Structures are given as C-alpha cells and as structure tokens.
Amino acid sequence: MWFFARDPVRDFPFELSPDPPEGGPPGPWVLHRGRKKATGSPVSIFVYDVKPGADEQTQVAKAAFKRLKTLRHPNILAYIDGLETDKCLHVVTEAVTPLKMYLKERAEAGGLKELELSWGLHQIVKALSFLVNDCSLIHNNVCMAAVFVDRAGEWKLGGLDYMYSSQGNGGGPPRKGVPELEQYDPPELADGSGRAVREKWSADMWRLGCLIWEVFNGPLPRAAALRNPGKIPKSLVPHYCELVGANPKVRPNPARFLQNCRAPGGFMNNRFVETNLFLEEIQIKEPAEKQKFFQELSKSLDSFPEDFCRHKVLPQLLTAFEFGSAGAVVLTPLFKVGKFLNAEEYQQKIIPVVVKMFSSTDRAMRIRLLQQMEQFIQYLDEPTVNTQIFPHVVHGFLDTNPAIREQTVKSMLLLAPKLNEANLNVELMKHFARLQAKDEQGPIRCNTTVCLGKIGSYLSASTRHRVLTSAFSRATKDPFAPSRVAGVLGFAATHNLYSMNDCAHKILPVLCGLTVDPEKSVRDQAFKAIRSFLSKLESVSEDPTQLAEVEKDVHAASSPGMGGGAASWAGWAVTGVSSLTSKLIRAHPAAAPAETNVPQRPTPEGLPAPAPTPVPATPASPGHWETQEEGTDTAEDSSAADRWDDEDWGSLEEAESVLAQQEDWSPGGQASRAGQTSNLAAKSPESDWSSWEAEGSWEQGWQEPSPPEPPPEGTRLASEYNWGGPEPGDKGDPFAALSARREAGAQLRPDSWGDDNWEGLETESRQGKAELARKKREERRREMEAKRAEKKAAKGPMKLGTRKLD
C-alpha cells in the first residue's frame, strides 16, 4: 500500500499571484502579491527559500518570522498567517506595497503632498517609539526597504530580520552581511573601540534621519550626502539635523522627536495628522467631541488623499453611524467621501446606510438627506427607490415642519424619474394636490407648482390630461403672487402636452383672467403666454396639416426628454394627488354621464370627505385631479420656459403673505365650482351626501313622509265644514247602516274614515284620532333625532334624498 505525503504549500489557504514579485527588503525575502483562496481578498506574501549552506540567513529569517508573529501594533506590518517547511518560509501579511515603489508611482501621478509624508513619518517614528520604549527592542534596520504602505496610504514598519533586545538578552545585534544595508549604520558603529557613549535608540534615530533624507531626496548615494538637507521642508530641518548629528548622545528619543515635530509650527502639526490621531482614538472620545469632529471633517476632506478618505475615513464614518451616536453630522463627510468610490463600491458601502437613514425619525437627518440627495441619487436603482426610500420620503409631505415639507417637494425632482407608475401618478399626485390646495405656506404651494411643471413630462398621458390643467389653473387663483406666476409658467413649460382644443377652451380663458391681476409680474407672464398660445393656434389655423405635428406629444407615453421647456429640466420629477382630490374622482371623465343639472354642495370643514365610488366600466385611479373649471391650463413659449428657471423657489425664510382665506378644495367644493356631477345611477344612496347635513340636507333616504304637524288648538278639521253638499236628512245615505253599527259599540279605528257624514265626525272620534296622530308624530320625531345623532357621531355617509327636520 502506498501513502502519499500531503503538500503543505498546496494546502496553504493562501496562494501566490501569477504576477512577478514586487521585490522586498534587501536580503533573502521576496515579496509576492497573493490572495486568500476562500474569499479572494488580497494579501502580501513574503517568501524565503531555504538554501543549502545558508544556515545563518535561515536563522535570521526564522527570527524575523517569529518577531512579526508576536508583535502587534497599528504601525507595524500586520501578520495574518505563516507557513514553515524544510524548503521555504511563507509569511502572509496585509496587502502592502514597498515604500520605494509607492513613492515612484505617486511621483508619476503628481507627487505626494507634505501632509501625507508628515503622517507617514509620524507612523514610522511612533512604531520605533513602541519598540524602543515599550518593548526594549532595537529595530536595527530602519531604511526605505523596511517601510511598506497599505491601500489607505498608511506607512508600516517591517524588515524585522535584524532586530535584537536592547537589554542584552540573546546576544548583540546579528550580522547583516548585506552591503546595501550597512550604509545606513551610524558612524559610531564604525569605531571598533566601542568607546562612544550612546543611548539605546541612537542608532535607529540615525537610520530614521537617513529615511527622511531618502523620502524627500531619493536614494542615499553615500553618508556624506546627509549634510545637505536638500528638499527637506524647513520646518523639519532642525529636527532632522538632531537625528544625523555626529554625537549619538544628543539624538532624541522617538517620543521626544514626535513631541518636537508636533509643536506649533512643526512639520507634523497639521490638520491631516490631527484627523488621523482622532480617528485612532475615536472609540474612546466623548459624543460631543465626535459631533464637533465630524462637523469640521468635511471642510478638510478636499485636501486629504483619496486613498486615505476611501479606506480610513469612510470605515470610521460607517462605524460611527452604525454603532455610535453621530447622527446627521456624518452625512456631509460621508457623501463627500462617496465621490471617490466607483459605482460598485458605492452600492456596497454607501447605499445600505442611506436606505437605513431614510427610515430614521430624526428630523435633522431627514432634512440633510433631502438636501444632499443629488449626491447619491444616481447610485439608487428603481426597486430600491420605490420600495425602501419613497415610502419613507412621503412622510415629509405631512410633517409639521415647513422646512421638511419644502425639501420633500424639491427632492421629488430627483426621485420622479425612478418612480413607478403607482408612486408617480397616484401616490405622489395625492400629496401634491393637498399641498397646493391646503398648505398654509405660500412658498410651499408655489414650489409644488414649480415642481409639477418640471416633472410633467414624466407623468403618464392620462395623468397629464387630468392633472396639469387643473393644477396650474388652481395655482393661478392662489393669493400668493409667486404661486400665480408659477401657474402661468407651468402652462408654458408643458405647452406641448395640450391639444389645440384644450388650449382654446381651457387654457386661454384662464390666462385672459390674469391679464388684470393686481401684480404686474403675473400680468407680464400671462401676456407672454397668451401670445405664445395664440401664435400656436394661428399657425395651425393657417396650415391644418401641422396639427398632428403640434399635438404629437399630447398622447405620447411619459418620457424624461419630452417637452420643450421640460426637457431643459433634467432630473426634475414629481407625482402626487391630494387625498381630498382623489376622493372626488369617481371614474375616468369618459365614463362619467352627462348629468350637469344636479347641484353640488361643498363639504363643510370638520366633516369627513366622501369616499370614492369605483365604476366598473372604468376603474378610477385614486390619483385623479378633478377638473375645476372649463379653462384651467396655460402654456408658454420657450422664452417663458427659460424664465421658469429664474423663478425663486420661494424660500421659507423670506416674508410671505399667508392665505387670508383658503379656497374650499373639498371634493364637494371642487365639483360645485366645476359644475360637474357624479353618476347617481352608479352611486349607492350613501355615497357622497353626508356633506349636506350641515346645510339643511335631507336626513333620511327614500322613506315614507312624516305625518303632518298637529293643527293648532281650536282649528276645525276640513270635514267639519259644510262645503255646500246636501243635508243628511235630505237624502238617504247608502252607508247609514254601517255607520250605525260602528256607533253602537264598535271601537273606532285610527285609520277609519268615520261615519258617512262628510260634514263632520263625532267629537270623541276626532279627539281619538288626533291624539293617536300626535303620539305617532312624536314617536317618529324621536326616531329621526336618534338616527340623526347616530349618523353625526359616526360621521358616516348619509342617504340620498333626505330632508333635515330641525
């Protein structure tokens, strides 16, 4: 039986990339790119091949393996996994790039900023401080080849091959045997006598000076070149000179060097370093400190490196929102950093957070999201908008805060192109109609009209036909002058969406009424729109063959690019019908019967609006806008359309005239002004008549009439009078026998006619009938009052044709 030994390299959970190696520190190690087999996440793999006769190098490599595995610090290369066999050593670390290669790539792209270099050097000095002061270890190999950079631009200290203890444990420093590394040794090491007095960190600080020189000036040709600072910044030169001083005793401790460089005016005293230091300690910061930090962060992000923003700032922002109490303050820097992401990264990292934010009840967060929607709307797909975002956004239409209502209206311009049929043509139109008719803020009513005009091309053809004319006509009657202007400009912006018949019979009559408006701005826009429509009608009159071309967009499907004026407003889209208007709609106008003589009465305030009654022939959409008047829509020429964008949205901060008297936009009121009626045959008796109750309406439906009121006392009945007929004795009565039998003992029935004498009845009989009638009337009255009170309490619909008795 044969047994096959397993290959540990093949079973290793990481694999080398087929790309050529990236090099590595001078010595036996070779740096390769790699990835984790299970997840595909990138890593770096340092490989050392064991060679015969190189036992000393092998021991150095194994010591480096052990050191890297046991040392954990944010500024030291992070160990992930390792493999040790008789033939090789594999050390897996976070994905990094050698500093030399990184500087070369950045130089080709425009070079590194001093901010980045200051933070990178800060990290290396901090790593040295950790080794020397906390671990009592001497790195003994600080140079360009021992520094690596991760994807966030963070500098990491590696090259731990020649590290040794400063306390003498384990012997002295190992022999390097690499000439390229020996040029970084301090001059005192060349003195074989060992008489030079030095601190334990002196050699590493000299090598740090060499690293600083190479970062700013390139590869170090020889040690004598250190005397010339070259391109080293002036704020760093004094501290650099301390590092490369001939006297090792005066070379500062790494911690002291950081302190000196962080002093006011120092090389490492800048916003970038301060931001990084705060992010490293953000978990232990107070909530107030975090709030202040995030508020100021967005101002600095423009000057920060892109990689740093993507890989260091962004994770902290997401963590602060997910687990912290940062709230709305993270939104501005979050969206600013989001600009550096590609579409796939944005979908993975930003969109889930945005969707979660929209469900927040925090008003500050909601209004920030609405204000900055332009920055992320292009990354939202239609299913996400319709199912996870729009249902939360529409709550803003009902918010008591005017600023949120205003921003919600404006946000519809961006959301409308992504809304589905139901949300755009039904749900959104309900809210828009309510805002335009009922909102107490003039600017919000104005903005609703503006928004509707800018998204008119996104609406379906049937919705455009129902909504636009009615909505813009309603705006022309608004007490707030900018709203009236917006109504005229709305007609102009959507001029291509109306038939010539509508232009002549509906739009022009409305515009003509505005030519005597008290505000000159309204009159001016009305005259321009009238001229535009008249010119359009005249051109068709002169050449009827143009009619098809002029009306080509009237019945066309919704399209963002449709329309002359609307086409210039890319990204604007809105939909909504007020809850009141939707209740007024019974069916498509084509299905409504031509009953125009039945009077409609407005619903008094405080009473429930009637519920919609579906018509089987044509299902009614709850988002219809009931046509109010014969003439309601207006369109304008291209100049007027351009003028639209110059109109102010109507800031809530500006002074505004509040509605002195709101028009009654209740369903009954709209139908009354329009002179339109619902189909009585299609309606149930209790459909829409409850609004009549306060106006003396009928109380009950088709019921038998109530008994007459009792006559005043002393009033004779009609039967008591002799109307000129013959006397009873003059002529025999064929009913005399029957009358005699009744009088003899039979009890009178309340509904009997009495005896045969048409001149009168017995007094007792009359009193009995009158009493029974009175009791019946009282009983009937109590029943009616009880029913009336019950209906008022329930506020339910009332039956058709009843009369109010009180």
Q: Provide the pLDDT for residue 767.
A: 63
- For the stretch 703-728, pLDDT in tens is 333 344 444 444 444 344 443 444 44
In 110-196, which ranges are continuous DSSP H helix? 114-129, 179-182
- For the stretch 643-667, pLDDT in tens is 444 444 433 333 333 333 333 333 3
Query: Percentage of the chain surpassing pLDDT 70?
Result: 68
pTM over cut 0.75: no
Burial label for 361, CB within 10 Å (0-12, 13-18, 19+), is: exposed
Burial label for 218, CB within 10 Å (0-12, 13-18, 19+), is: middle
- For the stretch 369-417, pLDDT in tens is 898 888 889 888 899 999 999 999 999 999 999 999 999 999 999 999 9
d(CA 617, CA 612): 15
Higher-pLDDT residue of 51, 451: 451
Q: What is the overall mean pLDDT for the chain?
A: 74
Q: Which residues contact 8 (CB under 8 A, 6 or more apart)?
A: 83, 85
Query: Residue 95 carries which DSSP code?
Result: -
Q: Which residues pair with 30 in a beta bridge?
A: 47
CA atoms within 13 A on the CB side of 722: 5
- Chain centroid to CA 138: how far? 54
The domains of the chain, with CATH numbers, are 14-97 (3.30.200.20), 98-269 (1.10.510.10)
With cut-offs at 50, 70 and 90, classify the pLDDT of residue 59. confident
Q: Quick one: CA dihedral 518, 522, 528, 530, positive or negative?
A: negative
- For the stretch 85-137, pLDDT in tens is 888 899 999 999 999 999 998 888 877 888 999 999 999 999 999 999 999 89
Q: Provide the pLDDT for residue 406.
A: 93
Mean pLDDT of 58-74: 89
Q: Provide the pLDDT for residue 656.
A: 35
